[in-house]
Amino acid sequence: MAAIYSLYVINKSGGLIFYKDYGSKGRMDTNDSLRVASLWHSMHAISQQLSPTTGCTGIELLEADTFDLHCFQSLTGTKFFVVCEPGTQNMEDLLKAVYELYTDYVLKNPFYEMEMPIRCELFDINLTRAIQKDRVALLGR
């Protein structure tokens, strides 16, 4: 049964602007999630330096023993990454859907300051709905 453990959004400087945990035992406090996000931002950049060919845009998938990490980077440098069970399918589509929600409910919100933590209720509501729908679709198969 595929499950999403957590979702992070980081701005183009590497600062964490959104973190949501969906029920993992490894729930992190604020400081740890900030550190992890910055670390990921740096690793993403370093991986581009080590590429044997030109045109590398950074890590898209990290596979570990107990989880997979899928990352999507928008053209502006904002990164969306999700920690999920190993072998979960369609995470790229989910990340693109989250990006759409981000553009609709966060960027178009006139009270939202760029690069600041996201505090938009509609974004939260629609995000939960998207994740739920994803979960139901996966379980339904």
Partner 1 sequence: MQFFGGSELSPSPPTPTGTGTENNSHMIYIFNRNGVCLLYREWIRPLHTLNFQQDHKLMFGLLFSLKSLAAKMDPTCADKGNLGVPQLPGQGCSFHSFRTNTYKLNFMETPSGIKFILVTNPGTGDLRETLKYIYNLYVEYVANNPLYTPGTPIRCELFNTAVNQHVKSISS
Task: Report the Cα 116 to chain-centroid distance in Å.
Answer: 16
Residue with tokens 């406090």: 29
* Cβ closest to partner 1, residue 54 vs residue 76: 54
**Within a 10 A sphere around the Cβ of 78, how many other Cβ atoms?**
20
Q: Which of 1, 29, 30, 50: binder of partner 1 (CB under 8 A)?
A: 50
Q: Which of 7, 9, 10, 59: binder of partner 1 (CB under 8 A)?
A: 59
Over the window 6 to 35, marking each residue x when it contacts partner 1 by CB under 8 A and - when it does not, the resulting string is x-----------------xxx-x---x--x
Residue with tokens 């589509």: 93
Amino acid at 94: L
Orientation of helix 91-102 relative to helix 121-140, angle to 10°: 160
Six-digit token string for 117: 């933590």
Over the window 75 to 94, marking each residue x when it contacts partner 1 by CB under 8 A and - when it does not, the resulting string is --------x-----------
Q: Which residues bind partner 1 (CB under 8 A)?
A: 5-6, 24-26, 28, 32, 35-36, 39-40, 42-43, 46-67, 69, 83
